[in-house]
């Protein structure tokens, strides 16, 4: 049978370990958010470049009737 002091110590240890785990997870989330923001900026820049290239390459195509008309 465990004594009340032992139970309290066990609970304090568990609380400290959980607090440490929460801090570690919070740090990882912050790092991942930074990576996501950086990737979003790169995606936006690439999208802009792609649209600009697409506009340059699309020469004025004459609208003609298909041969079967």
Angle at 26 between CA 20 and CA 29, to 5 degrees: 145
| pLDDT value of residue 29 | 98
For the segment 11-39, what is each residue's pLDDT rounded down to a tens digit? Answer: 999 999 999 999 999 999 999 999 999 99
DSSP line for 11-31: HHHHHHHHHHHHHHHHHHHHH
| pLDDT value of residue 35 | 98
pTM exceeds 0.75: no
The residue to which tokens 């999208």 are assigned: 47
What's the chain's average pLDDT? 90
């Amino acid at each position: 049978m465990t004594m009340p002091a032992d139970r309290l110590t066990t609970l304090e240890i568990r609380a400290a370990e959980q607090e440490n785990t929460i801090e570690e997870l919070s740090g990882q989330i912050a790092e991942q958010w930074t990576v996501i923001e950086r990737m979003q900026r790169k995606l936006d820049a690439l999208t802009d470049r792609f649209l600009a290239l697409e506009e340059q390459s699309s020469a004025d195509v004459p609208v003609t009737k298909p041969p079967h008309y």
